[in-house]
Amino acid sequence: MRRKTKLIHGGISGDPHTGAVSVPIYQVSTYKQEGVGKHKGYEYSRTGNPTRHALEELIKDVEEGYAGFAFSSGMAAITAVMMLFNSGDHVILTDDVYGGTYRVMTKVLNRLGLEATFVDTSDIANIEANIRPNTKAIYIETPTNPLLKITDLEQAAKLAKERGLLLIVDNTFSTPYWQTPLALGANIVLHSATKYLGGHSDVVAGLVVVDSEQLANDLHFIQNSTGGILGPHDSWLLMRGIKTLGIRMEEHEANTRKIVEFLVQHPAVKKVYYPGLPSHPNHEIAKKQMRGFGGMVSFDVGSGEKAEQLLARVRYFTLAESLGAVESLISLPAKMTHASIPKERREELGITDGLVRISVGLEDVEDLLEDLAQALA
């Protein structure tokens, strides 16, 4: 099956009982047992629900893995994955990971004894230099948020394998349409499905796909034990979103290319961050491991004041956190998504006060270009 076909025909489609072409929403908590322990595969919806199961099968197929799991948010998914480790274990993470990932590692899971080191994983030597006897995993976000740095996943997988570590990849920005980390050697891929997979700013969800039976059993045990599951209605909305992921990603990308061209030549823009630009420091790696460069662009307008003026003037770019939806969004990472990272650390990473991030939507690109032109003037 090719990629767009798989998004529509992967997993479980329709309902064998009625012929309905859409998977029904099984809004149910418990299931009748014929006798004690005799049931049709479902006992209680925390453990398993047919609508959630259909979504889990779909994402498993789309990410080319062994089993899929749906959670109530991206953070619930990330936290569940971290529960695979024990107190005293150590994980190496990308330094500009999603702010919430940094927060859960440094303010919550650290209290339970899980140790974390944040390094620039776009240089594999930095990962290797930080491996300790208690290191259990490498956790990579690529492209990163908001600077769109790229880590070579094949190289990271090679290192992880040599050193007996798990490789975990947050694939939220690329989506499986553009990048399939398990096929490149990762063991676990996860998503904030709130973003591109849902795609319509109407559902908060997280997804995980693992590459082995062992990890599938362990993660299902954690999902059922800790209970951060996705409800049936949200599971259904997410399946609906995933069906159009291919055409949406193609269109996000086409619009983004034109916007990047415009930004690069604009005198008010000091710097543009986009992995599709030949000037991007990791462009060659991006070309090797991604089928497309995505719809996220960051650019620096020089100061916080100028950035706030721009945000106040745009009409079609909605000022909001989040990304990956049909509507174009604009944000100021230093004051919004990355506000939970201390200022000194932000400056170290290059997340300046003048850095603006846009998530290019599916509007007519001419409207978006005119809007940016008037707001930057």
Ligand X SMILES: *Cc1c(COP(=O)(O)O)cnc(C)c1O
**Which residues would be at the binding site for ligand X (CB under 6 A)?**
73-75, 98, 100-101, 141, 145, 170, 172-173, 192, 194-195, 204, 206
Q: Which residue among the candidates 6, 136, 149, 195 is catalytic per the annotation?
A: 195
| Closer residue to ligand X in complex, CB, 73/375 | 73
Length of the chain: 377
Q: Whole-number minimum distance, CB 336 to ligand X, in Å?
A: 12
Q: Which residue among the candidates 170, 211, 234, 371 is catalytic per the annotation?
A: 170
| Dist. CA 64–CA 259, nearest whole Å | 32
The upper half-sphere exposure of residue 263, i.e. CA atoms within 13 Å in the direction of its Cβ, equals 26
Look at strands 188-192 and 166-170 and give their pairing: parallel
| Dist. CA 120–CA 268, nearest whole Å | 29
| Dist. CA 7–CA 245, nearest whole Å | 7
| Closer residue to ligand X in complex, CB, 50/68 | 68
Active site residue 4: no
Q: Whole-number minimum distance, CB 172 to ligand X, in Å?
A: 4
Give pairs for 344-352: CB < 8 Å, separation 24+.
349/95, 349/96, 349/147, 350/147, 351/96, 351/146, 351/147, 352/300
Question: How many Å from the N-terminal Cα to the C-terminal Cα in the chain?
Answer: 47
Active site residue 170: yes
Q: Whole-number minimum distance, CB 213 to ligand X, in Å?
A: 26
| Angle in degrees, 0-180, between the axes of helices 245-264 and 365-376, rounded to the nearest 10 | 30
| Dist. CA 377–CA 315, nearest whole Å | 14
Active site residue 98: yes
Q: Which residue among the candidates 4, 15, 42, 46 is catalytic per the annotation?
A: 46
| Closer residue to ligand X in complex, CB, 152/170 | 170
| Closer residue to ligand X in complex, CB, 50/361 | 361
| Dist. CA 289–CA 162, nearest whole Å | 21
Q: Whole-number minimum distance, CB 73 to ligand X, in Å?
A: 3
Active site residue 195: yes
207 with 229: CB under 8 angstroms?
Answer: no
Sequence-separated (6 or more) residues with CB below 8 Å from residue 168: 81, 137, 138, 139, 140, 186, 187, 188, 189, 190
Using CA atoms in the order 126, 129, 134, 135, what is the torsion angle rounded to 10 degrees? Answer: 30
| Closer residue to ligand X in complex, CB, 85/173 | 173
Closest alpha carbon to 27 in 247, 269, 184, 237: 237
| Dist. CA 377–CA 314, nearest whole Å | 11
| Closer residue to ligand X in complex, CB, 50/231 | 231
Q: Whole-number minimum distance, CB 25 to ligand X, in Å?
A: 21
Q: For the chain, how many helices (H) and strands (E)?
A: 14, 12
| Closer residue to ligand X in complex, CB, 323/375 | 323
Q: Whole-number minimum distance, CB 337 to ligand X, in Å?
A: 8
Measured CA distances, 288 to 89, 254, 255, 293 (Å): 32, 19, 22, 11
Q: Whole-number minimum distance, CB 173 to ligand X, in Å?
A: 6
Active site positions, annotated: 46, 98, 170, 195
